[in-house]
Structure 1
Amino acid sequence: MVTALSREAAAPPSLWLDALLASGTDDLRPRPALGRNAAFDVCIVGGGLTGLWTAYYLAKADPSLKIAVLEKHIAGFGASGRNGGWCSSLFPTSAEALKRSHGREAAVAMRQAMIDTVDEVARASAAEGIDCDFAQGGTVSFARNAPQLAAATADVAAAAEYGVDKLELWGAEQVGERFGARGSGSERPLGAVFDPSCARIQPAKLVRGLARVVESLGVSLFEHTEVTNWFARRVRFRSELPDGSSVDGAVSATNIVIAVEGYGAALPRVGRHVLPLYSLMIATEPLSDDVWREIGIEHGQTFTDYRHLVIYGQRTADNRLAFGGRGARYHWGSAIREEYDRDPRVFGHLQRTLADLFPAAADAAITHRWGGPLGVSRDWHATASFNPKTGVGIAGGYVGDGLSTTNLAGRTLSALIRDEQGPLTELPWVNHRSPRWEPEPLRFVGSNLGLLATGLADVEQGLTKRPSLAAKLMAPLTGH
């Protein structure tokens, strides 16, 4: 019997966490909070995938290290337990942009590192007995009008130039054969791009399983322990105790890792270095084999299309459609609140879009609706950084491409902290420093105008059947 559940367990914030609770495999009860001052070699702030992968690779490399992970809620409460379940080679900054900034060799190295990371997540999860429904079926990106097909063709050509990604361009006939004669909705696809470097996973199984693994390696994981600040190799925290009281304290640590992604906007020493952008998801009831045959998406496959307002989806291990997208507005002052996780307008848009993509699923019941913030840096460039003088490392700014990138961040931070130089520490995102976002009201106006322009770009392309001028003007602001 599941008893004494935490607030998170009483109302899990995603399909993924709810599935663990419903199956009885994880009751989501919080681990004990840190109730006193303490000292560690490494103090990691954030119990999501970045923090846990960093702890994992540090503990594997040097079992003598005393490592603590401090988490405000429970491990996997944030984006790590709510995302779309794409373990992909996607990186928020394009190879062309990396080449302009760092040179062709660095761009190729970054692309290869991301591809290799998909394999590393598979290897590490299998080695540690983490059953996260990992199935590498690749990503299908539909092109549903002429401008989208042009963009798809350009992507395949660009990938061929760098010689690392193995993208395939499928024509309308191939798409029709694979995904049914009706295509994928009101606009019959003109083609699609297939990227084999992506796996479907159940993200909560991965993050919660990884939490158990790092504990078995001797890492101390404290939950309901909120970090309020850090300075001079000390981390200030406030813990919530089971009796409802709280205690303030500090951790002394030789090295500190900040791994909180979009939630960093609430920390005084991160603040405007990250913008919390909300992404929302829905999930259907399990669909019949007949419906799946008509849809055509196979187990292990993820899917999207070439619209500008990002959408993403997967076929889950239990035959649901889990589908998400952008469209939720930015909130004044980078505010993060529980009520922002649900937006009826965006949920309605997602349901209509899913029915348009896959008419066979139009009548399927929607069983779960959820969302949460992801982290966006001002130049849309992720980073894994470490300053040996201060002992502080930070990673994030994944812009929604973090499920695999967190693993690369963990390996990279582990190497940087241990002063182990090699290919990982030479990648172009290492020690990248993005500019800060503008103060309010400029941040509020600019972010929401950008969101509006992205939506208008799709309308513009649908009407004109030509590449969007609005999208072209916005491309430099999104790392492309």
Structure 2
Amino acid sequence: MKLFASAAEMRPVPRSEGFRNGGVSYWYREEGTPERRASLQGDAEYDVCVVGAGFTGLWTAYYLAEADPGLRVAVVEREFAGHGAAGRGAGLVTAHFPGPREELARRRGKGAVIALQRALMAAVDEVVAVAEKEDLDTGAVKGGMRTTATNTAQKERLTAEVAWLQEWGFWPEDLYVDGDGRAYTPHAADLDPVRLARGLAEAVERGGVEVFEGTPVTAVAPGGADGPAAVTPFGTVRARTLILATEGFPAPGAEAWPTESCAMIATEPLEEGLWEEIGWDGREMRADAAHRPAFARRTPDGRLAVGGRGALPRGGAQGEAGTAPPQAIAELWRALAGMFPEAADVPIAHAWTGPVGAPADRAPVLTLDRETGVGVAGGYGRFGMALSNVVGRTLRDTVLERRTELVRLPWSDLEGTKSPRLRRIGRQVARGLYRGADKRETSRLTGTSRLATVAERLSPKGTAE
């Protein structure tokens, strides 16, 4: 039993005078949320209608317009491009794959899972390349991801985790442990996610796609004689193919999956001397090797942004406003203090949350029913930047009936999104146990806590992040 709290646990979270909680996210702090594009004006017909102007919807529209300029494509968005998970994340483009690889391998074969992992690595380069090609001012830097163990148990797990991942598509040159016991992968980049979302919306418009903002979809009708339809207060959109890419904000009438809110914090800008003391030029991203890992990046204006912990059930945070609960802010600050003790006194300037899709099996979802003409995509958890790009290209090939490697990747279906009550409870209990395991392992010199072993039984590897 732990008798004494750590220094970080006893200290109040340092906050700046201008501390802000919510307001969508830090990425909107300076420029504010954009003016909405025009709403839909009356009934309309298209070849493809995408509901949701997040990364999945925008990448899908982008690649469809690029592949077939004659295709009539529309994007319908309730708020504005980048309002949802796209504008609330950390801007980390990583090859991380959520979900239990073993289960997908049983369904589709290990080779298919490895192919998906390799596709995610390539997607990191693809996202950066498109940003450069379209002249999007995202500040993209591909510096890789370095994971550092902060205690004995983490060191043991990190070495084992790297060896395990090298059996699932990360070859030794893609992920390895260096001489200091830190894991590194070059397949990661960071950028400004809001500028990417805004830039992609402008790029798809240049490609002939119509983007309607401030247009909520109030009902979804499956395919009939005239194809599926998205009903809005301003008119009905009919299309041969209707893609639902709303993730944490499902359209009424569409099948919804479980969501959770993920929190983040950003500090005030650090002085250059403090960055030098930390020993980090900011080009690479950082993470720890906890059961519930935290990740950090250096923002273009010199702040530390930390996320990863503090995930809550959908009802645990204000998903629309982006308000982070005090306990999530405190947990993230403790992670920051543990990873960068030199920066523990830097005030927190901004905190926020965003809802993300969290399927029961944690495997990304992509389906397109040819009979109804309705497709659904999402469910990436915290790791949607590269996944959404792969999904967008896969939907392009699926809609255009191309026989490519992408359409053979092992995506999950809607059945995998369903989460029985007992399974949801088990996952929540597992999170609490992992939290306790991380605390115990910080204060001891032995291996993995038994709490983590119990948590693993309640929620298999990859499903409780």
* Structure 1 and Structure 2 fold alike (TM over 0.5): yes
Q: For residues 42-85 of structure 1, what are the alpha-carbon distances to aligned partners after superposition, in whole Å with 9 as ceiling and x for unaligned?
A: 11010100000000000001111111111111100011011011
TM-score scaled to structure 1, two decimals?
0.84
Contact 2:48 2:74 in 1 (8 A): yes
Query: Which residue of structure 2 lines up, in the alignment, with residue 86 of structure 1?
Result: 92
Query: Which residue of structure 1 lines up, in the alignment, with residue 13 of structure 2?
Result: none
- Within the candidate set 176, 179, 185, 1:195 is matched to 185
- The amino acid that maps onto 2:242 is I
- The amino acid that maps onto 2:320 is E
Cα drift, residue 304 of structure 1: 1.2
Query: Which residue of structure 2 lines up, in the alignment, with residue 348 of structure 1?
Result: 330
Over 6 Å off, 4+ runs: none
Cα drift, residue 477 of structure 1: 6.4
Question: Do structure 1's residue 305 and structure 2's residue 291 form an aligned pair?
Answer: no
**Root-mean-square deviation (Å):** 2.3
In 2, distance between residues paired with 1:98 and 1:138?
27
- Within the candidate set 416, 429, 432, 1:452 is matched to 432
Distance verdict in 2 for CA 1:449–1:471, change over 3 Å: closer
Cα drift, residue 363 of structure 1: 1.8
- The amino acid that maps onto 2:276 is R
- Give 3-state SS (helix, strand or coil) of 1:56's partner: helix
Structure 2 unaligned blocks of 5 or more: 1-21
Cα drift, residue 162 of structure 1: 4.4
Q: For residues 244-269 of structure 1, what are the alpha-carbon distances to aligned partners after superposition, in whole Å with 9 as ceiling and x for unaligned?
A: xxx353111110001011222x6443
- Within the candidate set 146, 151, 160, 1:154 is matched to 160
In 2, distance between residues paired with 1:451 and 1:161?
26
In 1, distance between residues paired with 2:193 and 2:306?
14
Contact 1:378 1:436 in 2 (8 A): yes
- Give 3-state SS (helix, strand or coil) of 2:122's partner: helix
Equivalences for residues 377-388 of structure 1 within 5 A: 377-388=359-370
- Give 3-state SS (helix, strand or coil) of 1:338's partner: coil
- Give 3-state SS (helix, strand or coil) of 2:404's partner: coil
Distance verdict in 2 for CA 1:290–1:394, change over 3 Å: same
- Within the candidate set 402, 409, 413, 1:427 is matched to 409
In 1, distance between residues paired with 2:100 and 2:155?
19
In 2, distance between residues paired with 1:151 and 1:97?
21
Question: Do structure 1's residue 225 and structure 2's residue 219 form an aligned pair?
Answer: no
- The amino acid that maps onto 1:15 is Y
Distance verdict in 2 for CA 1:211–1:12, change over 3 Å: farther
Q: For residues 101-149 of structure 1, what are the alpha-carbon distances to aligned partners after superposition, in whole Å with 9 as ceiling and x for unaligned?
A: 3223112211110101111111111111112111111111111122211
Question: Do structure 1's residue 263 and structure 2's residue 249 form an aligned pair?
Answer: yes
Contact 1:139 1:301 in 2 (8 A): yes
- The amino acid that maps onto 1:256 is L
In 2, distance between residues paired with 1:454 and 1:391?
42
Question: Do structure 1's residue 15 and structure 2's residue 9 form an aligned pair?
Answer: no
Q: For residues 405-440 of structure 1, what are the alpha-carbon distances to aligned partners after superposition, in whole Å with 9 as ceiling and x for unaligned?
A: 11101000010001011111111116574151225x
In 2, distance between residues paired with 1:87 and 1:337?
22
Structure 1 unaligned blocks of 5 or more: 1-10, 22-26, 175-190, 239-246
- Within the candidate set 305, 313, 322, 1:330 is matched to 313
Distance verdict in 2 for CA 1:94–1:170, change over 3 Å: farther
Q: For residues 133-174 of structure 1, what are the alpha-carbon distances to aligned partners after superposition, in whole Å with 9 as ceiling and x for unaligned?
A: 111111111111222112211122123334644112134xx3
- Give 3-state SS (helix, strand or coil) of 1:215's partner: helix
Aligned residues: percent identity? 36
Cα drift, residue 463 of structure 1: 5.3
Task: Report how many residues are paired.
Answer: 433
TM-score scaled to structure 2, two decimals?
0.87
- Give 3-state SS (helix, strand or coil) of 1:73's partner: coil
